[in-house]
Amino acid sequence: MQAPIAKKIPFLLENHGHQRQDNYYWMRDDERQDDEVLAHLRAENSYCEAKLAPTQHRQKALFEELKSRIKKDDNTVPVRDGKYWYHSEVSGDQEYAKHFRADTFDGQGKTLLLDVNELAHGHEFYDLADMAVSPNEQCLAYCEDYSGRRIYQVRFKDLLTGQLLADELSDCEGQVVWANDNQTVYYVKKDPQTLLGYQVFRHRMGTAQEQDELVYEEQDRSFYMGLGKSRDESLIFIDLEATETSHTYVLDANDANAQAVELTPRIMGHLYDVDKLGEQFYIVSNLDAKNYRLMQATTQTISNPDAWQQVIAHRESVLLESVELFNTYWLVTERELGQIRFVVYQHEQGQMLGEGNVLAFDDPCYFAGVGMNPEPNVSKARIYYSSLTTPGSLYEFDLASGERVLLKQQQVQGDFDPALYQSERLMITARDGVKVPVSLVYRRDSFSKDGTNPLLQYGYGAYGITIDPSFSSGILSLLDRGFVYAIAHIRGSEMLGRAWYDAGKLTQKQNTFNDFIDITQALIEQGYGDADKVCASGGSAGGLLMGAVVNQAPHLYRAIGCHVPFLDVLTTMLDESIPLTTNEYDEWGNPNDEQDYHTIAAYSPYDNIQSQDYPHILVTTGLHDSQVQYWEPMKWVAKMREHKTDDNLLLFKTDLESGHGGASGRFKSLEEKALEFNFFLTALDYED
């Protein structure tokens, strides 16, 4: 079967005196209804299926293998909120969870709140986002997306009668916040074109959405908007976040007619996160503190940063990430040398008492995060923990003693034995002398440091998002076939602090690509992988990484997985009508500025395709992707087919029902993973 060859319609783009010819610009269809576009996507899907048909048996076996490790009947640990305990359950082959609440921890008086399987019935895609119970615990608001575009509808359920209420909200972000009167909810409305949330509305139960009151509108389209509620539930936060600046407005949660009040003046370059408990505000702030410090303020001083009091000072080698507030403790999340840790400080009415105590974990590299702790008047905290060899585990820590109790650990079905696997943390020296962290895992009995193992290297490297080493039952399918799996903690994340992020964006973005390439070379040289069996994978901004890497160092890789990839960076960042563009000028640069234009042009994957040999490449996307539009990978594949000089596989698969997050459901999403794994094994000529 021949690969689909797209028609070429010349389209000239000119900026700053520089011309680009885009022969595939015609592939953009904002309505996603163009017959020719859809026909081409279906042709690519058919081609992908045909080329992998000889190994279809293995792909099906991989899917069943991935599925077999998942416990079919499972539940979450109940969480106390108010007078009820909340948990979810999954069972059998059902794709989605059922959500319950009960009178006790052990489930007495259990009541079904939502059966997501019923809500998703008849829909190819379904996503349930925020679920918010009213303060009097009598009404449930929940947010639904049927397309994958992350445009949510909000519905309300009377928990006393079990009936849906007439109230419905449309075109929302996936969250709502209740005021304390149980009759008022706040939500963020999205711009239908850019999909940017920029307006906060107040809805009064029992009225039509058309009557809702606009509470706040943000004029600067570089900000994302979200809602939250303070730890003491006295305030509703309107959180505005740009790449380099934060801004917060508050509403009195006890006043159904409250007006939005600026919490503290907007200062360009000031990034912060704020919470309130009792009479004190706590602010994790980067003012005069690149890696953040913890500040404290009162109602009288919160509007004046010069009057804030320091609680935890800035440290050059420690990134202060967040603080969880309890009546007598602060649980602080920090990161040093790339590793998360938790420090507990005791306090009395906001005054610190003594030194902090570090909560201990065991693995050389791991991921951990503060779990749901809705009530501040306790001395215990839940922390989720996982490593490359340790399945997800929920611990409850006694904040006074530091002692921990395991509440639940992910059960991996089958013959999984964690003792069979080994993880490592390496520091690889990049070409400019900077040491870059790498997390590795492999199976002990199949690994030999002689350069014979296949290697899969994963990376992201953008937005300050850190990809911590955590357990994946899916990756076992490759480890058990002899692979080494490596996570490259490249610049662009915050793995080594805020400076690590700054060194991988804007004019320094090339560091991200150099780091990934240099890590690949070093792992080969150190015997962690066979030079002829190196695979790499990344999605979204990590897909941009894949696109840049294969342009710049195609010889290093045998196969590439490139998922929902951001590939046409220059054209997208020049178009303010595309979702997310204006929010990301501080990440990639604003190409309306000539210097930024040329910086982006130097690495933009679509603009730098060359006539050269490329690795085997699998590209996946969703037609309804709201983050990276489907036409970016579609154009990239078409242009790649035109220019590449090899006979390697170039496969393109579009899920015609999903968005940026891929297929919905706990089993259906495994089909995408089975596809990628089978593609890698096929590219490596692996024999079962």
Distance CA 243, CA 500 (A): 15
Query: What percent of the chain stands above pLDDT 90?
Result: 90
Distance CA 303, CA 179 (A): 23
Candidates 403, 578, 367; CA nearest to 493 is 367
Confidence of residue 118 (pLDDT cuts 50, 70, 90): very high
Statement: residue 196 has pLDDT above 90: no
Average pLDDT over residues 428-452: 97
Q: Which residues of 649-679 are buried (b: 16+ CB within 10 A; e: fewer)?
A: bbbbbbbebbbbbbbbbbebbbbbbbbbbbb
Residues 676, 564, 64, CA angle at the centre, nearest 5°? 30
State the sign of the Cα–Cα–Cα–Cα dihedral 292, 295, 299, 302: negative
- Give SS3 for 435: strand
Distance CA 186, CA 204 (A): 9
Statement: residue 640 has pLDDT above 90: yes
Q: Which residues are CB-contacts of 423 (< 8 A; sequence separation ≥ 6)?
A: 363, 364, 365, 387, 388, 389, 439, 440, 441, 469
For the chain, give the mean pLDDT.
95
DSSP 291: T
Question: What is the fold of 48-67+426-683?
Answer: Rossmann fold (3.40.50)
pLDDT of 662 reads 67
- For the record, the structure tokens of 144 come out as 């639904």
Statement: residue 612 has pLDDT above 70: yes
CA distances to 75, 77, 85, 137 from 109, in Å: 17, 16, 10, 15
Distance CA 547, CA 644 (A): 13
CA distances to 444, 475, 531 from 450, in Å: 14, 22, 11
CATH class of 123-270: mainly beta
Residues in the chain: 688
Residue type, 305: P
pLDDT in tens, 370-416: 998 778 888 999 999 999 999 999 999 999 999 999 999 999 999 99
pLDDT of 106 reads 93
pTM: 0.93
Q: Kindly list the strands in the beta sheet with 329-336, ordered across the sheet, starting from the edge strand earlier in the chain.
A: 318-325, 329-336, 339-348, 351-359
Helices (H) and strands (E) in the chain, counts: 12, 38
Question: Would you list the domain boundaries of the chain?
Answer: 48-67+426-683, 123-270, 271-370
- For the record, the structure tokens of 364 come out as 């050389």
Candidates 643, 652, 648; CA nearest to 8 is 643
- Per the CB < 8 A criterion, the answer to whether 215 and 256 are in contact is no
- For the record, the structure tokens of 477 come out as 């399918």
Statement: residue 137 has pLDDT above 90: yes
Candidates 640, 641, 677; CA nearest to 474 is 677
Residue type, 656: L
pLDDT of 338 reads 92
Catalytic center residues = 540, 625, 660
- Give SS3 for 616: strand
pLDDT of 589 reads 95
Statement: residue 688 has pLDDT above 80: no
Q: Are strands 98-102 and 111-115 parallel, antiparallel or unpaired?
A: antiparallel
Confidence of residue 66 (pLDDT cuts 50, 70, 90): very high
Distance CA 513, CA 603 (A): 9
- For the record, the structure tokens of 262 come out as 């600026």
pLDDT of 124 reads 85
Average pLDDT over residues 528-542: 97
Cα dihedral 545→546→550→553 (10° resolution): 50
Q: Is 227 exposed, middle or buried (0-12, 13-18, 19+ CB in 10 A)?
A: buried
Average pLDDT over residues 613-626: 94
Distance CA 18, CA 411 (A): 56
Confidence of residue 343 (pLDDT cuts 50, 70, 90): very high
pLDDT in tens, 660-685: 766 667 788 899 999 999 999 999 99
pLDDT in tens, 265-316: 999 999 999 999 999 999 999 999 999 999 999 999 999 999 999 999 999 9
pLDDT of 77 reads 95
Q: Are strands 534-539 and 559-563 parallel, antiparallel or unpaired?
A: parallel
